[in-house]
Structure 1
Amino acid sequence: MIVLSLAAPSLALLALVAESLFGYPQVLFRAIGHPVTWMGRVIAAGDVFLNRESMGDGKRFAGGCGLVVLLVALSVIAGHALHLFLSSLPFGWVGEVLIASTLIASRSLADHIRDVAHALDKDGIAGGRIAVSRIVGRNPAELDEHGVSRAAIESLAENYSDGIVAPLFWCAVTGLPGLIAYKAINTADSMIGHRNARYEYFGKAAARLDDLANLIPARVCGCLVAVSAQPTRRIGKAFSIMFRDAGQHVSPNAGWPEAAMAGALDVRLGGPRSYGAVQTDGAWLGDGAADLTSLDIRKALLIYKRSLVLLALLLALLAVSTGVTA
């Protein structure tokens, strides 16, 4: 009996291909949920028990650190156990690929962004606001057509980085354990890594660890977007805008793919925005027009698809250079 164990870069490549083709079936989501929702339940439970208002700032910080350590440890243990078990089975690598594919979101991201463009074209600003509210945290009621279009493109760029490039990066470097650990960290940041009264201390460890985990992937993602600019004469401008404006973003990482996308499209992204009652004075990224429409969303999706092909080619080269099996 021949048992194959995929090398980490090969696992990352096949997971990307599988997810791009099949996504995560809705029937499966309705039946058992999603691995990220399972992680979310653990984080929510930790939030209830370790982040009480009666606790001091020090205890809340310690509780948040403990929760993150627990999440990472459980993720690495689970990933390693799954890898060992599946590697011992004939064709077990198929199961490992399918598990890894659930932790990236290339297909669903494109679907959600495309929905915004469709809604703007079909139902106008009202439909666009509803569609974009499903993917961004800002207040959609204050967005006009241009604001909805910018929000969709910014969400595409940022989620491309932390929803696809980053998990695949950690998968290619460390295999399934690192991929699961990254998703746990990223999920914790999205749930508790906020700078407000409740999470300033409890979520600090999650936010900082997420910044660290995305440090390299965000810059890789920005380069992928810049190289994928169309027409090709904009590639140089995309790199120029990325290096010039990325540091102006409030996030140490999100500015890289967003600024690259702004340069690739020759538009302006970012700017002031509203999250509920909170107003932020975000910097503008790029030099072009800020009056974007659904057409610009579709252009951004084309750049995204080209960069996915480039990402797959890079993973294939890495897989070949390191050996397909381990």
Structure 2
Amino acid sequence: MLFWQDTLLLLLAALALDALIGDPDWIWRRLPHPVVWIGGFIRVLERALNRKSHSHRWRRGAGVLTLLLLLVVSLAIGLGLQIAAEHLAYGEVLIVLPAAILVAQRSLHGHVAAVRDALSRDGLPAGRRAVSMIVGRDPEKLDEAGVSRAAIESAAENLSDGVVAPVFWFALLGLPGLIAYKAVNTADSMIGHKTAELHDFGWAAARFDDLINLPASRLTGLLIALVAPIVGGSPVAALKTVYRDARKHRSPNAGWPEAAMAGALGIALAGPRAYADYVVRDPFMNPKGRKEATAQDINRALIVLRWVYKAQFLLVLGVFLLTAPIVLF
């Protein structure tokens, strides 16, 4: 049985491994990524249970059943790997490697950096192509400021649900918690959209994803505020922006890291955004901030990401040291 200190130590190893090697493309060109397996399972359930001929109530119930099945399977896989790790020589690899794969520190940085590089080196058309890989809005309607803001908003939101939340749930529940979190988060991205076809079926996944992201989104906002001075920002200004503007976001979670990033960088984020089929007319967060964001602002956001990664590592290390006095002394 893994003790909490063991879990934290394995988490530190996973964070270090992800920072060093990330998700090598040559592996995933040959093998399906674990998220692809999760997505395939969700798609099978959706095709089997989400029938247009069924009533709204039945489809919502089918969505609840899908969520429960997803949780049971993901928790069972995580628990099975954890039990196997405890009985095998060097079994820690069965925990550290999946954790490193599912915590997206290096890959998030790489995707956002690609937008910065394309925009600054090759101009607006290249920036639009790069940002279309990480956001769903219509890239052809984005100017340089729009591309830059989209990349920064994606960096802030995915910092929460792609990095801080997986770390939080691994620290709390070990590998089963991490895999279950990634399963729910993937389900939200696939079936949580409010389309006519998925409105009822995806309701449970979307609401549960909101719930399990509550702690990490708040923590992410605090971490961004903490490192704001690194990019010339103010922790107080970042926290004031969060307090004033986070609730303006249509998501109960995304507003926290995005508002903190807006305050830390001194720019305005969110606001009206055009997607392929509709326009979102949200208010700006940090509306008095500079709206003409540039590739240099994307670079400043990347600096924030790197320092939040460091702060998060030190936070986990600090908790480990404080809770493991017998191990140390």
TM-score class, shorter-chain normalisation, is over 0.9
Q: CA RMSD in A?
A: 1.6
Give the aligned partner of residue 50 of structure 2.
51
Matches within 5 A, 1:116-265: 116-230=115-229, 231=231, 234-265=234-265
CA offset digits 1:224-274 (Å, max 9, x no partner)? 011110356611101111111101100000000000000000110000011
SS in 1 for 2:307: helix
Question: Comparing both chains, which one has the higher relative contact order based on Cα–Cα distances under 8 Å and sequence gaps of 6 or more?
Answer: 1
For these two proteins, the number of residue pairs brought into alignment is: 323
Displacement, 1:20?
1.0
Task: For 1:276-291, list aligned pairs within 5 A.
Answer: 276-286=276-286, 287-291=288-292
- For structure 2, the 5+ residue unaligned runs are none
Identity of matched residues, %: 46
Q: How far apart in 2 are the matches of 1:283 and 1:9?
A: 40
TM-score of the pair, normalised by structure 1: 0.96
Residue 6 (structure 1) shift? 6.4
Q: Secondary structure at the match of 1:200?
A: coil
227-236 or 237-246, larger mean C-alpha shift: 227-236
For 2:266 and 2:176, the matched residues in 1 are separated by 39
Helix, strand or coil: the match of 1:291?
A: coil
Residue 146 of structure 2 aligns with an amino acid whose one-letter code is G
SS at match of 1:7: helix
Q: In 2, are the aligned partners of 1:16 and 1:312 still within 8 Å (CA)?
A: yes
Deviation at 1:47, TM superposition (A): 1.4
Q: Which residue of 2 aligns with 1:113?
A: 112
- What amino acid sits opposite 2:220 in the alignment? C
Per-residue deviation at 1:4?
Answer: 10
SS in 2 for 1:54: coil
Q: CA deviation at 1:208?
A: 0.4
Q: Which amino acid letter does the alignment assign opposite residue 168 of structure 1?
A: V
The superposition leaves residues 166-185 of structure 1 with CA deviations (integer Å, 9 ceiling, x where unpaired) of 00000000100000000000
Which consecutive aligned stretches of 4+ in structure 1 deviate over 3 angstroms post-superposition?
A: 3-6
The code of the aligned residue for 1:22 comes to I
Distance in 1 (CA, whole Å) between partners of 2:233 and 2:5 is: 39
Change (3 A) 1:4 1:251: closer
> In the aligned structure 2, how far is the partner of 1:193 from the partner of 1:61?
12
Contact between 2:157 and 2:254, CA under 8 Å: does it hold in 1?
Answer: yes
Runs (5+) with no aligned partner, structure 1: none
Aligned partners of 2:242 and 2:259 also within 8 Å:
yes
